[in-house]
Amino acid sequence: MTFRPATSEDLPALLELYADARAFMANCGNPNQWGSSHPPVSRLELDIQDGVGYVAIEQETLAAAFALLPSPDPTYSFIEGSWPNERPYGVIHRMACRLRGRGIASACLDWCKKRYDTLRIDTHQDNRPMQRLVSANGFSCCGVIYLENGDPRLAYQWDREAER
């Protein structure tokens, strides 16, 4: 599997990938996290423009996509709970995989771990597959954060020092 920055040429495949991810989440009891249109094309275009959107390619197929941003993330400034530390961190957003059950999502997390010593990610309380994924990959649930629109999300952190 290879990872590279997403490009505008990837947009049609990204739109398919995210549509598939929304259907998967709805089928798993999580129809509300991304609704019928998240992430919007404008957000994907900004991720590409800002150099924070990435894709994973498996056998010439766009297998996964995510955004990896540097800290600080304003939605992480307040948490009901506590962050283990306040070191600089990377933030993973908008992760979606096409080929499930093949370790691709874990490979995405591993790729991110090579770039930051501390990572944060959040997910909807109904997104059980993502909760299992991040927990299985060494992330600890730290509490609840709130998006700009007030929606709550379970917040997780991984820290290289905690793995030692």
Q: pLDDT tens, 58-70?
A: 988 999 999 999 9
**89 Cβ contact list (under 8 Å, min separation 6):** 71, 116, 118, 119, 120, 157
Residues 96-111: b if buried by 16+ CB within 10 A, e if exposed = bbbbeeeebbebbbeb
**Residue range(s) defining the domain that contains residue 107:** 2-163
Beta bridge partners of 46: none
**Domain count across the chain:** 1
Residue 47: band (very low, low, confident or very high) from pLDDT cuts 50, 70, 90: very high
Q: pLDDT tens, 72-100?
A: 999 999 999 999 999 999 999 999 998 66
Q: pLDDT tens, 111-159?
A: 999 999 999 999 999 999 999 999 999 999 999 999 999 999 999 999 9
Burial class (CB in 10 A: 0-12, 13-18, 19+), 82: exposed
Tokens of 37: 């249109």
What's the confidence (pLDDT) of residue 69? 97
CATH number of domain containing 24: 3.40.630.30
